[in-house]
Amino acid sequence: MAAPKKSAAKELNAEKGEGAVAEFTKEQELRALRDMLLIRRFEEKAGQLYGMGAIGGFCHLYIGQEAVVVGMQMALKLGDEVITGYRDHGHMLACGMDPKGVMAELTGRRGGYSKGKGGSMHMFSMEKNFFGGHGIVGAQVSLGTGLAFANRYRGNDFVSITYFGDGAANQGQVYESFNMAELWKLPVVYVIENNRYAMGTSVTRASAQSDFSKRGASFNIPGEQVDGMDVRAVKAAGDKAIAWCRAGKGPYILEMQTYRYRGHSMSDPAKYRTREEVEKVRHEHDPIEQVRNRLLAAKVSEDELKAIDAEVREIVNAAADFAQHDPEPDASELYTDVYR
Amino acid sequence: MPIQVLMPALSPTMEKGNLAKWLKKEGEPIKSGDVIAEIETDKATMEVEATDEGTLGKILIPEGTADVAVNTPIATILADGESAADLAKAAPPAKQQKAAESAPPAEAKKEAPVSPAPAVPAAPQAVAVPEPEVPEGTEMVTMTIREALRDAMAEEMRRDPDVFIMGEEVAEYQGAYKVTQGLLQEFGARRVIDTPITEHGFAGVGIGAAMAGLKPIVEFMTFNFAMQAMDQLINSAAKTLYMSGGQMGCSIVFRGPNGAAARVAAQHSQDYSAWYSQIPGLKVIAPFSAADYKGLLKAAIRDPNPVVFLENEVLYGHSGEVPKLDDYVVPIGKARVARQGSHVTIISWSMGMSYALKAAEELAKEGIEAEVVDVRTLRPLDTETIVESVKKTGRAVTVEEGWQQNGVGAEIAARIMEHAFDYLDAPVLRVSGKDVPMPYAANLEKLALPSAAEVVQAAKAVCYR
């Protein structure tokens, strides 16, 4: 009897050494700190503006999950595509989109990335290769697979970084996409941001298989679980997954184990978890504090860190100021951009 | 000067809430982003974050207070170097002060320049498109609609390397209805792609590829199965250009047979004309003649917008004349007068046109000259051609295979009423599919579909004959 054929996933598991962390230079640590701080402060400000009524509708904050996008962004190269769901502010800032344009979209102003027509959940930047910003849970997974399809069709070596949450991971089209991605060896890294709650439903109450790295197993897609609170671990996993895709080996799944400090959206009853649970993660695993502590231990001065803080705060304040004073879109914009 | 912390709004509709709990005490240091209190409404609980650094100076609203109005000062924060003695000078932060001027937060936007005129601007009017020039003496080739479609795709794939086709059985099987016959042989497996049976998934993959700049033709084996993919067609394909402020759209064609085939019953016999043509951002085409099938599919593939191209399985084998031109493209959005007449206008598209034209022949025998308008494109709908014809005839009948309620016929009747009411000599009548799921039995199926006889009857009725 022939020996059972080793799957790509098994082969990889043998060599992958899960839990690896990238060695960061001081410059990388500082960049990670700055980029994560920018997201944190931006989101805090967005929360405040929402409270003041300047931002309407739905507003999903990324606070707590910053290491995921920042680490992944450090692993990809110019030309790779990024696409995500509606908790998208962090992804846009990590892609280098202008905080003013993002904040002005949140307030529905003409200087917003979508001229005020998209809002929090629907923003795009062709210039920064950010493909949205999608409001329907799971839809971005098929779309991100399509971005990878385009790379394959064109014969380039770019990779589609397709983010979705533990909630979206239960949508049918995710698996339809997994199947096609592996079948056609599409260069897509599926980054599952497992923040433990799909709106108010915990992973254990929604998922028969809560190890999301195994969700591609029946399609032979390799996957691994990553400490999504440690930006170095994210970067290391991202490097490996992206290299796999770039080499033409097909898709790769990274389950980022992370945590959302704030509610699902702004009107979250917060009845489904305890304050202690949130506080424990904050105090023991905060992605920003981890970097800050490492930098301090490496004798980087408090002043240098404070300067980063101040710079970030200034950027965020300027964005908030712009977003509150930029005019609303002109009424004539009502009928533009329906067709081109 | 000490900073006031105001009661925040949990949602744009919130006007007051309860101050459930203080998480910081007076005198405690505070960092920006610290949670200092919890507020709640009947719907939710929310944390109040400090926006500034300093020390919690004074709690103005004790915990447990109910019905605190939004923007009421609830505490003061002392900056470094300030003491309780400075409390009297407390002022709300500049930005929040502005918000406080208009208590309901939804109105807080007033602080920025707002377009003054609440009037809705006029919707842009469709511009008439000229019919393509078919030079005199052009040779006409008779071909089936199936071949016309295949030729249109092949020509566009030769012309533009970004055009490719994907769908179930489009490659090796040569098309479930043989529409893609020969394409795999000419263009290879890179551009003619068999998908798994996974409509929702491959529609999304196609749209993603289009967002990246490719020009996919996505074939649905029939549009009945596209219902599984409808979210992607509408929420992703149709709306993204608008939601991105014009930055990112997708040039993509969704095509396949629509409407009733024969004896396949309810789940495989449905006309989606009305469904898709309701959606701004989509273009919807449903041709009848072989020439239009070819010319409009070429136009659809070149169009920079998402296009739903509704074909008809029964028509695939029908033959018609197609101009033998290197590049025959029919403009989207232009109806065609398929038959001239002066007594009544019959308006239809796709398979409905076969009933309309047959009826016109019958009517002619009885001295009623019907003008038959093939709208060809359902969105944008060529109101002008329809209205001009009705102004001439004063009577109108619409014909469609779909259901009557909220149907395309209803829309056409409304437009005629809006634009040609004074010209009407009779109410507009609609001939349509019956208001039932499609039955299987041959006799019942026939009854469920519209017929030339029904069109004749309706035309006579509006002519009071």
Q: What is the 3-state secondary structure (H, E, C) of chain B?
A: CCEEEECCCCCCCCCEEEEEEECCCCCCEECCCCEEEEEECCCCEEEEECCCCEEEEEECCCCCEEEEECCCEEEEEECCCCCHHHHHHCECCHHHHHHHHCCCHHHHHHHCCCCCCCCCCCCCCCCCCCCCCCCCCCCEEEEEHHHHHHHHHHHHHHHCCCEEEEECCCCCCCCCCCCCCCHHHHHCCCCEEECCCCHHHHHHHHHHHHHCCCEEEEECCCCCHHHHHHHHHHHHHHCHHHHCCCCCCCCEEEEEECECCCCCCHHHCECCHHHHHCCCCCEEECCCCHHHHHHHHHHHHHCCCEEEEEECHHHCCCEEEEECCCCCCCCCCCCEEEECCCCEEEEECCCHHHHHHHHHHHHHHCCCCEEEEECCEEECCCHHHHHHHHHHHCCEEEEEEEECCCCHHHHHHHHHHHHHHHHCCCCCEEEEECCCCCCCCHHHHHHHCCCHHHHHHHHHHHCCC
Q: In what order do the strands lie in the sheet with B65-69?
A: B45-49, B35-40, B16-22, B65-69
- List the catalytic residue out of B40, B169, B200, B268: B268
**pLDDT band at B307, cuts 50/70/90?**
very high
Asked if B164 and A153 come within 8 Å (Cβ–Cβ), the reply is: yes
Distance from CA of A336 to the nearest CA of B (A): 8
SS3 (DSSP) at A69:
helix
Nearest to B214 among A124, A150, A176 (CB): A150
Q: Is B343 known to be catalytic?
A: no
Give me the mean pLDDT over the A37-45 stretch: 97
> Tell me, what's the pLDDT at B12?
60
SS3 (DSSP) at A83:
strand
> Tell me, what's the pLDDT at B295?
98
Give me the mean pLDDT over the B142-152 stretch: 98
Q: In the structure encoding, which two tokens stand for residue B437, read together?
A: 């799921």
Lowest-pLDDT range of A56-70, B111-125, B336-350, B364-378: B111-125
> Tell me, what's the pLDDT at A267?
79
Asked if A124 and B99 come within 8 Å (Cβ–Cβ), the reply is: no
**pLDDT band at A18, cuts 50/70/90?**
low
Q: What is the dihedral of CA B192, B196, B201, B204, to 10 degrees?
A: 0
Question: For the segment B152-168, what is each residue's pLDDT rounded down to a tens digit?
Answer: 999 999 999 999 999 99
Interface residue B94 vs chain A (CB under 8 A): no
> Tell me, what's the pLDDT at B3?
80
Q: In what order do the strands lie in the sheet with B370-374?
A: B336-339, B370-374, B344-348, B396-403, B429-433
Nearest to B198 among A57, A180, A313 (CB): A180
> Tell me, what's the pLDDT at B130?
61
Interface residue B115 vs chain A (CB under 8 A): yes
Asked if A48 and B51 come within 8 Å (Cβ–Cβ), the reply is: yes
The percent of residues in chain A predicted with pLDDT above 90, rounded, is 90
A-B C-beta contacts closer than 8 Å: 239
Asked if A114 and B123 come within 8 Å (Cβ–Cβ), the reply is: no
Contact A221/A162 with Cβ under 8 angstroms? no
Report the mean per-residue pLDDT for chain B: 90
Nearest to A143 among B43, B95, B207 (CB): B207
Distance from CA of B143 to the nearest CA of A (A): 33
Q: How far apart are CA B362 and CA B203, in angstroms?
A: 43
Residues within 8 A of A (CB atoms), B 184-223 only: 190, 195-196, 198, 200-214
Q: In the structure encoding, which two tokens stand for residue A275, read together?
A: 């304050």
B305 contacts on A by Cβ (under 8 Å): 339-340
Question: Would you say residue B83 has pLDDT above 90?
Answer: no
Question: Would you say residue B51 has pLDDT above 90?
Answer: no
Which amino acid does the sequence have at A70? V
Question: Would you say residue B21 has pLDDT above 60?
Answer: yes
Give me the mean pLDDT over the B289-304 stretch: 98
**pLDDT band at B45, cuts 50/70/90?**
confident
What is the residue whose two structure tokens read 């025959």? B328
Q: Is B268 known to be catalytic?
A: yes
Question: Would you say residue B355 has pLDDT above 70?
Answer: yes
Residues within 8 A of A (CB atoms), B 283-312 only: 283, 304-305
Contact B10/B28 with Cβ under 8 angstroms? no
Question: Would you say residue B71 has pLDDT above 80?
Answer: yes
Measured between CA atoms, the residue of chain A closest to residue B207 is A143
The percent of residues in chain A predicted with pLDDT above 70, rounded, is 95
Give me the mean pLDDT over the B322-335 stretch: 96
Give me the mean pLDDT over the B245-251 stretch: 96
> Tell me, what's the pLDDT at B201?
98
> Tell me, what's the pLDDT at A2?
43
Question: Would you say residue B105 has pLDDT above 70?
Answer: no
Question: Would you say residue B8 has pLDDT above 60?
Answer: yes
Interface residue B127 vs chain A (CB under 8 A): no
Interface residue B29 vs chain A (CB under 8 A): no
Asked if B305 and A339 come within 8 Å (Cβ–Cβ), the reply is: yes
> Tell me, what's the pLDDT at A269?
78
**pLDDT band at B109, cuts 50/70/90?**
very low
> Tell me, what's the pLDDT at B116?
54
Question: Would you say residue B98 has pLDDT above 90?
Answer: no
The percent of residues in chain B predicted with pLDDT above 90, rounded, is 72
